Each structure stands twice: as structure tokens, then as C-alpha cells.
Amino acid sequence: MEYVSLNNQVKMPILGLGVFQIPDEACESVVLEAIDKGYRLFDTAQMYGNEAGLGRAVNKASVPREELFITTKVWFSNAGEQRAKLSVEKSLQKMGLDYLDLVLVHQPFNDYYGTYRALETLHKEGKIRAIGVSNFYPDRLADLIAFNEIAPTVNQIELNPFFQRQHDQEFMQAHQVQPQAWSPFAQDKNGIFKHPILQEIAHKYHKSVAQVILRWITQRGISVLFKSAKMERIAQNAQIFDFHLDQEDLAKIATMDTAQSVFFDHRTPKGLEYLRKIPFNS
């Protein structure tokens, strides 16, 4: 496993498993098996409803807690300094953990300033090793960097061959914020697994299309999370550090960029309306 160093010197695995849409009762076994396959980074969120399952896996794991990197995210209905702090403490209780490695502001909505300051407080109390944000475009990310005591360590964003985010990456690198990709496979939209460019490159290296995508992202120095509950795919997706994409491969993948989200734009009212409809029980 390769690692990246955050701006506070905390080391984070470059590849991890996200547990979005994995039911709580199944999350424990999936994570335990993934740990056995060599995974150390696991990403959940208050909105996912499976923090407890991930926590059970961490506490039953055969590896020491300090070898695991556990992330959760604060949903915007828990926004605000006091409410966000209480919600993270509740997340810790659900997971049965003394600390979290990374906590993110999940969406750039509601009182995200208050939420971020709650994370700063929890970081100072030793309950969080690193803090950051998710789904923040450069304008709002710049705002947080400029007017808070602790700069975000991570910005978790949608990133895949159809939405490559080169400008966002350059901005984050200039401000020492680690980009982390979610939905690298675009949830199989636009026929990504059958795309001729990706299939050609996969054939060239005797790899799967998924492995090519993950290698393309990590080769850019970007941490990446993928979601799967199928152990065969989880095991296969870990085998991405034994080949290297060349400049010709990278140039071909660059032509796939549409510069648009394959889901929704967080900067539009429709994006917020969509997110507000997601059921959430704090």
C-alpha cells in the first residue's frame, strides 16, 4: 500500500474502501475481509447509517487500531458548532472508538463554518487526527483556508475519467490540501467499464478497467475511495501498484473529460434540493 502525507504530517493510505450503501449489518464482515486483503483506509459518514458496523469491524480487527485509518463525515443537518461537535461525539460512541483519523464536513451547505470550527475543537481535544471537507469547489475551499485556524487536510470530491478536476487538483496542491476521489467508476454511468479507451489500456497491461482507473487516479497523487461489497473485486482493486500508465495512456484518458459532474452540480440549487431529499436520521 502506498501512502500520502497530509499537511499536518499524518500519513493516509492512498487507496481505501468506502462503505456507502453497504447496510450496517453487512458492513462489519465486508470491512473485516477487506482488512485481511490489506486495506487500511475505510470511509463512512453519518448519512450512510453504518458507522456502528464499521466500528465493530475496527474493534474486532486482527491488526492494531493505529494501523487503520477511519474517516467519517458530518451531514449538513448536523451543521453548526455545537450540534456538529455533539454529532461527532455520537459517531465516536456508535463506533466504539476513542478517536477518528479524519472527519470531514460532508457538504458545502448550511452552517459549514460552525461545523468546521467544531472539528477544529475536536482536533485540539485529540479526538480527531485530521480534519477536512468534502465536495468543496475552490471558491469555498479558499474561504475556509483563509479564515480558519487549521487548514483542511483533505477535500473529498467526485473524480473520474468523465470529470477529471485538473484545475481543482492544482488549486488544492498549491494550498497543501490533499485531494481524495469518490465515485472513481462514476457508478457505471456512461458505460465506463465498456469505454473503448479504458478497455484498450486495460488489455495493454492485462488489468481490469477498474484497476486502470484507480491507477490513473493514484498516479496523479490523489487518494481514492471505491465502494464494493464483493470480495473478489475488493481484492482485485488492491492490485494496482505493480504497473505504471505511460504518457500515451494519460493523454488518451484526458480526452474523456467532459468537465461536468456525472451526478449533479453542488453549485446549483438543484444540487441542494437533491441532497435535502436524502433520508437521514441523526
Q: How many CA atoms lie within 13 A of 133 on its CB side?
A: 27
Per the structure, the count of domains in the chain is: 1
Note the pLDDT tens digit of each residue in 185-237: 999 999 999 999 999 999 999 999 999 999 999 999 999 999 998 999 999 99
Domain hosting residue 213, numbered range: 3-276
What phi and psi, each to the nearest 5 degrees, are found at residue 73?
Answer: -135, 145
Residues forming the active site: 48
Percent of the chain with pLDDT strictly greater than 70: 100
For the ranges 75-89, 152-166, 197-211, 262-276, the lowest mean pLDDT is seen at: 262-276
**Annotated binding residue 106:** yes
Q: Determine the average pLDDT of the residues in 251-272.
A: 94
Judged against a pLDDT cut of 70, whether residue 282 lies above it is answered with no
Residue 130 in contact with residue 70, Cβ under 8 Å? no
Mean pLDDT of the chain: 96
Bridge partner list, 105: 74, 133
pLDDT at 279: 83
Residue 223 in contact with residue 180, Cβ under 8 Å? yes
Q: Is residue 282 part of a domain?
A: no
Angle between helices 112-124 and 81-95 (to 10 degrees): 50
Please give the DSSP secondary-structure letter assigned to residue 11.
E
What phi and psi, each to the nearest 5 degrees, are found at residue 117?
Answer: -70, -30
pLDDT at 280: 83
C-alpha cell at 26: 453487512
Q: Determine the average pLDDT of the residues in 132-148.
A: 96
pLDDT at 259: 96
Q: Is residue 263 part of a domain?
A: yes
Question: The domain spanning residue 131 has which CATH number?
Answer: 3.20.20.100
Q: Is residue 10 part of a domain?
A: yes
Judged against a pLDDT cut of 90, whether residue 34 lies above it is answered with yes
Say how far apart CA 84 and CA 112 lie, in whole Å. 9
Q: Determine the average pLDDT of the residues in 35-48.
A: 97
Bridge partner list, 41: 69
Residue 178 in contact with residue 153, Cβ under 8 Å? yes
Q: Is residue 281 part of a domain?
A: no
Note the pLDDT tens digit of each residue in 52-69: 999 999 999 999 999 999
Question: DSSP of 135-185, one letter per residue?
Answer: S--HHHHHHHHHHSSS--SEEEEE-BTTB--HHHHHHHHHTT-EEEEE-TT
Judged against a pLDDT cut of 90, whether residue 274 lies above it is answered with no
Q: Is the pTM of this model over 0.75?
A: yes
